[in-house]
Chains A and B, each alone.
Chain A
């Protein structure tokens, strides 16, 4: 992937004076996109956060209400727990897969990469529809489990059902950072550890596992954050009694036009997201691994 080429050192261009002027001019190319983001992204988010403090009355009323309405705290905790479970399960499922990707030959690795990117590529609605059909009563999962004597397993409308579908959706975001961290680990390190007297298992635990921590950290935080804001999958596959923060935000806005309350919940999500990003960025750079993979295969 990296090619050893001779690169012009930064700041050296064929014509120095002209180059500098052109370099400054290049900065203006960013302006249109920045303007678009300011108007259609930064401003709306700032507005809704502002509204959480002002609508209907100035003050912290919306936040106090979250604490006292008897449901919001439960929903927030449930959302956090769900995100933890999804991120944890995704990590457990993705780790051996990513490890295997570093061990197989190039052809098998190609197939495995395509498989990982499948959920990335296939339409979100198509996938949710498929899970809907798989998980409902008399769906494929119900009937398959019926064959081995487990009757009436209906995942639809349960936290488990949402989790399974989310794990599938999130797998690429876990496998790719894990893989890019693992492929940096010299496979000879395991040989070295065993030659020095560590049994294979202990060599893995003492050498490989610690070295893959950056990948685990970025994958975990990425999945955790994305799960927090997921709306469609829980809305379709979950139950209204077990709703998560995104659904409550959606209801507040579409049914009650309560932008203040929605803004307060949204601000909570934003704070958690930024906190996770901040903490993780102190150890690793979670999104470099991902951004490198978007256009890769």
Chain B
């Protein structure tokens, strides 16, 4: 289902691109390389200020690259003006021309391409049909709701069949319900048009539901590129683990020969430890088992004693807050239905299969700034 990265002759190839804005010391984008296959849905995910929007602006040509190159279908476009790149762009604030009707907005790119008038009319009608806005052709953008405006923007950006559609937080200005609805619509358009989509967001939920692959940005660099499942199940850095979804993180020292991570009061088995040094073991909440009776736990599993601090009911499941012997806090998740094995204040044994954990390097043991994640609910992959 997910196309493999291209060999560079087709699709979009970003090679070692950097951007330094005049008057700033830190590069906004720092030596980024990324290949995007034709027809792929690629999401650039990261907190604000991580460089994802700057990357998109460089793809579109609104800002120049300071170093590196961008190729589209094998042709270097780094020095090309935006209007020569033939890409579609959708902006967070819609950027519809307020003095033109919906139909005129959608016709604008076709007029720039000197298409005959009759063809323009057909194309505009088709594009408006694609986003279910045929009856609104003669309205002004200000007479439409936010969701409708963004659908006009989508129609305008795909009507001339650009080589790729770039979207900069297109759902950021909409309320939750509209966001979900438009998300489905974008997914449908991707299926129907078979076009390359490049989508910028800081919302992990959006990224996980929509994308073929996700590139996680942090401080101008890409931390990890992979399918949603890759990133969720096998995060390669602590940042990725903490930015996407909830997790319990055990910090300690890796002892490679013994195959364990030594924490302050206990050890955790790490069969495939990458290297010796300080490390972090990451376990997702739905992988944690809570057992009152330790004998039920399979021999191969990791087990750590913990105290239940609180239980929160969130509809589909319970979130069980945990505190481990070394002070680490964590969270487990239990589906609503089966009775909970523990109540707040109880001591429990927490167990999990080491195959479901990820081990990453502890970034120099320094305090890691945990980005504020928007939704409090954990994300199910």
Query: Would you call A189 and B62 a contact (CB within 8 A)?
Result: no
Contact residue among A191, A193, A197 (Cβ-Cβ distance under 8 Å from B97): A193
Interface stretch (choices B85-93, B239-247, B312-320): B85-93
Contact residue among A188, A196, A200, A207 (Cβ-Cβ distance under 8 Å from B109): A196
Contacts of A200 in B (CB 8 A): 81, 83
- Which range contains the number of B residues in contact with the other chain? 20 to 34
- Report if B112 contacts A (CB, 8 A): yes
Contacts of A207 in B (CB 8 A): 97
* Minimum CB distance partner of A184 in chain B: B98
Alpha-carbon distance between A203 and B108 when the two chains are bound, in angstroms: 10
Query: Would you call A198 and B95 a contact (CB within 8 A)?
Result: no
CB distance from B58 to the nearest CB of A (A): 12
Query: Would you call A193 and B60 a contact (CB within 8 A)?
Result: no
- Report if B151 contacts A (CB, 8 A): no
Which of B83, B86, B98, B160 counts the most chain A CB atoms within 10 A?
A: B83
Alpha-carbon distance between A202 and B99 when the two chains are bound, in angstroms: 16
Query: Would you call A189 and B113 a contact (CB within 8 A)?
Result: no
Alpha-carbon distance between A196 and B89 when the two chains are bound, in angstroms: 8
Alpha-carbon distance between A178 and B99 when the two chains are bound, in angstroms: 17
Query: Would you call A211 and B89 a contact (CB within 8 A)?
Result: no
Which of B60, B81, B86, B98 counts the most chain A CB atoms within 10 A?
A: B98
Alpha-carbon distance between A203 and B84 when the two chains are bound, in angstroms: 13
With contacts A195-B87, A197-B86, A211-B98 known, is A188 near B93, CB below 8 A?
yes
Please, how many residues of chain A have a CB less than 8 angstroms from a CB on the other chain? 19
With contacts A199-B81, A207-B97, A211-B98 known, is A192 near B160, CB below 8 A?
no
With contacts A194-B81, A195-B60, A195-B83 known, is A188 near B112, CB below 8 A?
no
- Report if B156 contacts A (CB, 8 A): yes
Alpha-carbon distance between A50 and B109 when the two chains are bound, in angstroms: 60
- Report if B82 contacts A (CB, 8 A): yes
* Majority secondary structure of chain B interface residues (helix, strand, loop or mixed): loop
Alpha-carbon distance between A131 and B99 when the two chains are bound, in angstroms: 42
- Report if A186 contacts B (CB, 8 A): yes
Contact residue among A186, A194, A197, A211 (Cβ-Cβ distance under 8 Å from B99): A211
Query: Would you call A197 and B109 a contact (CB within 8 A)?
Result: yes
Query: Would you call B160 and A195 a contact (CB within 8 A)?
Result: no
Contacts of B85 in A (CB 8 A): 195
Query: Would you call B97 and A195 a contact (CB within 8 A)?
Result: no
Query: Would you call B89 and A195 a contact (CB within 8 A)?
Result: yes
Contacts of B99 in A (CB 8 A): 210-211
Contacts of A211 in B (CB 8 A): 98-99
Contact with B along A191-230 (1 / 0, CB 8 A): 1111111111011001100110000000000000000000
CB distance from A44 to the nearest CB of B (A): 44
Query: Would you call A192 and B91 a contact (CB within 8 A)?
Result: yes
* Minimum CB distance partner of A195 in chain B: B89
Contact residue among B61, B81, B86, B95 (Cβ-Cβ distance under 8 Å from A192): B95
CB proximity to A under 8 Å, residues B63-102: 81-83, 85-89, 91, 93, 95-99
Alpha-carbon distance between A191 and B90 when the two chains are bound, in angstroms: 10
Query: Would you call A197 and B81 a contact (CB within 8 A)?
Result: no
With contacts A191-B82, A192-B89 known, is A197 near B112, CB below 8 A?
yes
CB distance from A6 to the nearest CB of B (A): 19
Contact with A along B46-63 (1 / 0, CB 8 A): 000000000000001110
Query: Would you call A194 and B82 a contact (CB within 8 A)?
Result: yes
Contacts of B113 in A (CB 8 A): 197
Query: Would you call B97 and A198 a contact (CB within 8 A)?
Result: no
Query: Would you call B83 and A194 a contact (CB within 8 A)?
Result: yes
Contacts of A193 in B (CB 8 A): 97, 108
Query: Would you call A189 and B89 a contact (CB within 8 A)?
Result: no
* Minimum CB distance partner of A189 in chain B: B95
Query: Would you call A191 and B86 a contact (CB within 8 A)?
Result: no
Alpha-carbon distance between A198 and B81 when the two chains are bound, in angstroms: 10
Contact residue among B60, B95, B160 (Cβ-Cβ distance under 8 Å from A197): B160
CB distance from B159 to the nearest CB of A (A): 9
Query: Would you call A199 and B95 a contact (CB within 8 A)?
Result: no
CB proximity to B under 8 Å, residues A171-196: 186, 188-189, 191-196
Contacts of A196 in B (CB 8 A): 83, 88-89, 108-109, 112, 156-157, 160
Query: Would you call A186 and B93 a contact (CB within 8 A)?
Result: yes
Alpha-carbon distance between A189 and B98 when the two chains are bound, in angstroms: 9
Which of A186, A189, A197 counts the most chain B CB atoms within 10 A?
A: A197
Alpha-carbon distance between A144 and B354 when the two chains are bound, in angstroms: 85
Query: Would you call B81 and A189 a contact (CB within 8 A)?
Result: no
* Minimum CB distance partner of B60 in chain A: A195
Query: Would you call B112 and A191 a contact (CB within 8 A)?
Result: no
CB distance from B158 to the nearest CB of A (A): 11
Query: Would you call A189 and B97 a contact (CB within 8 A)?
Result: yes
Contacts of A210 in B (CB 8 A): 99
CB distance from B57 to the nearest CB of A (A): 8
Query: Would you call B98 and A195 a contact (CB within 8 A)?
Result: no
Alpha-carbon distance between A234 and B157 when the two chains are bound, in angstroms: 55
* Minimum CB distance partner of B63 in chain A: A191
With contacts A191-B62, A210-B99, A211-B98 known, is A198 near B93, CB below 8 A?
no
Taking Cβ atoms with an 8 Å cutoff, the residues of A that contact B are 186, 188-189, 191-200, 202-203, 206-207, 210-211
Q: Report 16 cross-chain contacts, Cβ distance below 8 Å, ordered by A residue.
A: A186-B93, A186-B95, A188-B91, A191-B91, A192-B89, A192-B95, A193-B97, A195-B89, A196-B83, A196-B89, A196-B108, A196-B157, A197-B83, A197-B109, A197-B112, A203-B83
Q: A192-B97, A207-B97, A211-B98 are in contact. List 19 more A-B contacts (CB 8 A).
A: A189-B97, A191-B60, A191-B91, A191-B95, A192-B95, A192-B96, A194-B81, A195-B85, A196-B88, A196-B112, A196-B157, A197-B83, A197-B109, A197-B113, A198-B83, A198-B112, A202-B112, A206-B108, A211-B99
